[in-house]
Amino acid sequence: MTDDVPAAMKMMSLRFAGECRECRAALPEGTWAGYDRSTRSVVCAGCSGSGEDEAVSVDSGVAGASALREYERRKTKRETLIREAHPKIGGLLLALSDDPQSTRAWQTGARGEVVLGRRLDSLRERGIHVLHDRRIPGTKANIDHIVVSLRGVFVIDAKKYSGAPSLRVEGGLFRPRVESLIIGSRDKTPLVHGVLKQVRLVADALSQAGLGEIPRFGMMCFVEADWPMLGGNFTISGVEVLWPRKAVDRITSPGALVGADVDAAARVLAARFPSA
């Protein structure tokens, strides 16, 4: 084992599977390891000597950035179309009309991510890693927030809806139990399915990096929703539905991980899910 990381070696999340040249351990795609440019070989984190003492440097991202960009794109496109179709009165028409709800929804979503992002950023001084607005490679989708603490990895979807989130349960004794996420009077259960998919992607990334034992949790965090004075949070299909302060309580609760686990998971996830 070397005492220092060679100058030609770069620590990275491997794009392709390989084998450690020192200990011959298999290194799956996504593993945090060293790549020696001079010999085109890979070295596992343990043999590279980078291990626990390596400073963690990851791109934390900007909360709500991609949603805000999409809002601005749609708003600009609408303004351009109206001005081109009505050169003389385009400005007046814009002043007398609002953006469609489908456009304003992106702005609202961005605001929710920013509000929650600020609350999560305050946890950094406690050794907790916070990754905002992470792109899911190969898709147009993103993960709002990924947080890594001693408790595990939290995949958090931020939402800014009016109305009270609630759990509706049907069936049970003689019929299959069916759980639904209701916001106000609207069935928003598909949102839960989206979070579960994100959790699976994060779990796959951790497993491929040899970190499959790290616990993963899915959350839907509703910002400024009509929560009751007492209680109100619940779990549906393994996804916790709660508000920012309750989310912070969950993230900062005692866990079995150590700092090296937290740092390694943050590196892997930041590399696998780049800033959007």
Does 76 reside within a domain?
no
Does 84 reside within a domain?
no
Q: What was the pLDDT predicted at 158?
A: 95
Establish how many alpha carbons lie within 13 A of residue 77's alpha carbon, considering only the half-sphere containing its beta carbon.
8
46: helix, coil or strand?
helix
Do 109 and 60 meet the contact criterion of CB atoms below 8 Å apart? no
Helix intervals (H) in the chain: 45-48, 65-85, 90-95, 101-121, 189-208, 244-251, 259-272
Do 36 and 268 meet the contact criterion of CB atoms below 8 Å apart? no
Does 60 reside within a domain?
no
Q: What was the pLDDT predicted at 6?
A: 46
Q: What was the pLDDT predicted at 252?
A: 96
Does 225 reside within a domain?
yes
Exposure letters 80-98 (e unless 16+ CB within 10 A, then b): eebeeeeeeebeeebeeee
Instruction: Output the pTM of the full model.
Output: 0.77
Task: Name residues whose C-beta falls within 8 Å of residue 58's C-beta, 6 or more positions apart in sequence.
Answer: 129, 131, 266, 267, 270, 271
In terms of domains, do 43 and 117 share one? no
9: helix, coil or strand?
strand
pLDDT at position 33 over 50: yes
pLDDT in tens, 145-177: 999 999 999 999 999 988 889 999 998 788 888
In terms of domains, do 24 and 108 share one? no
Query: Regarding predicted confidence, which is higher, 59 or 168?
Result: 168
In terms of domains, do 115 and 36 share one? no
pLDDT at position 37 over 90: no
**Domain enclosing residue 20, as ranges:** 9-48
pLDDT at position 49 over 60: no
Task: Provide mean pLDDT across the span 199-226.
Answer: 93
pLDDT at position 11 over 80: no
Work out the pLDDT band at 117, boundaries 50, 70, 90. Answer: very high
